[in-house]
Amino acid sequence: MQVWDTRQRSCCNFFNAHEEYISDIVFASDSMKLLGTSGDGTMSVCSLRKNKVSYSLPLTLDISDARYRIYSALQVQTQSEFSEDELLSVVIMKNGRKVICGTQTGALLLYSWGRFKDCSDRFIDLSPNSVDALLKLDEDRVITGSENGLISLVGILPNRIIQPIAEHSEYPVERLAFSHDMKFLGSISHDQMLKLWDLDDLLEGLGNPQKSHVAVADSDSDEMDVDTNPPKSSKGTKRKASKGQASGNTSNSFFADL
């Protein structure tokens, strides 16, 4: 993995962290760490401050290989058991406390931050279709793109498939991204097409916790206004009506006597 300085247009950091292709990368800005997943079944955590790599499983080093000099300079911080699944996607959730990885077999692997030795939980309801793309909607929900072309909304802790929200095509979904204003969801696939989805239409009926909270507060205040004002006006109306009726009855009885 390489980190480039766009101002100098040159590579400023280099991490030789994987043996196979790199499938996805995510950046944790608060800790200045770069997380990468690979087809070799590993997840690497690279510190941009210390220029160190912490591996999620051990690597076999060949002293005769020229790359040994690079590996020896980068200290291995953690190791885990080998994962037979190819890790295809990665996202950070739960306010930085959980790392979610999508796999070739469709399982979602949940890692606790700082404990990358082994996953703490596994969600397999998306199997057998591989999870090729992950996109965080909020801290509790993630959008997944699968091998069968389905785009689904999945809840994390508790783990559940909330519902499929779109279908790109019959081909695997390669990437997902939001527009700058969070109004549209973009998806790309092997059909060489970029599709844009109205996010409000996709999430219709599912609700937004923040919006619903505001709506409830507004409705409560409106009901209080409705409950408070009408009794005052109704009481005044009844009093005026009663006075009017009383005066009317008096005048009618007076003329009736005449």
The CATH fold assigned to 2-56+68-205 is Methylamine Dehydrogenase; Chain H (2.130.10)
pLDDT bin (cut points 50, 70, 90) of residue 209 is very low
- Which residues are paired to 99 by β-bridges? 92, 111
Closest alpha carbon to 176 in 198, 161, 194, 192: 194
| Other beta carbons less than 10 A from residue 255's beta carbon | 7
More confident residue, 32 or 52: 32
Q: Residue 149: what pLDDT?
A: 95
Mean pLDDT of 153-178: 95
Q: Residue 151: what pLDDT?
A: 96
Domain ranges of the chain: 2-56+68-205
Mean pLDDT of the chain: 76
Tell me the per-residue pLDDT of 41-53, one tens digit each, with 9 for 90 and over: 888 888 887 766 6
Q: Are 46 and 15 in contact (CB under 8 A)?
A: yes
The sign of the torsion formed by the CA atoms of 161, 165, 170, 175 equals negative
- d(Cα 131, Cα 102) in Å, to the nearest integer? 5
How large a percentage of the chain has pLDDT more than 70? 67
Q: Is the confidence at residue 155, as pLDDT, over 90? A: yes
Full 3-state SS string of the chain: CEEEECCCCEEEEECCCCCCCEEEEEEECCCCEEEEEECCCCEEEEECCCCEEEECCCCCCCCCCCCHHHHHHCCECCCCCCCCCCEEEEEEECCCCEEEEEECCCCEEEEECCECCCCCEEECCCCCCCEEEEEECCCCEEEEEECCCEEEEEECCCCEEEEEEEECCCCCEEEEEECCCCCEEEEEECCCCEEEEEHHHHCCCCCCHHHHHHHHHHHHHHHHHHHHHHHHHHHHHHHHHHHHHHHHHHHHHHHHHC
Q: Is the confidence at residue 256, as pLDDT, over 80? A: no
Q: Residue 40: what pLDDT?
A: 86
Q: Is the confidence at residue 177, as pLDDT, over 50? A: yes
Q: Residue 156: what pLDDT?
A: 96
- d(Cα 258, Cα 254) in Å, to the nearest integer? 7
Q: Is the confidence at residue 254, as pLDDT, over 60? A: no
Q: Which residues contact 120 (CB under 8 A, 6 or more apart)?
A: 110, 111, 112
Q: Is the confidence at residue 152, as pLDDT, over 80? A: yes
Tell me the per-residue pLDDT of 56-105, one tens digit each, with 9 for 90 and over: 544 444 444 444 334 333 433 453 556 788 999 999 999 999 999 999 99
Q: Is the confidence at residue 257, as pLDDT, over 90? A: no
Closest alpha carbon to 38 in 90, 112, 88: 88
Distance (Å) of CA 74 to CA 4, 33, 37, 60, 69: 19, 14, 18, 14, 9
Burial readout 125-144 (b: 16 or more C-beta within 10 A, e: otherwise):
ebeebbbbbbbbbeeebbbb
More confident residue, 35 or 145: 145
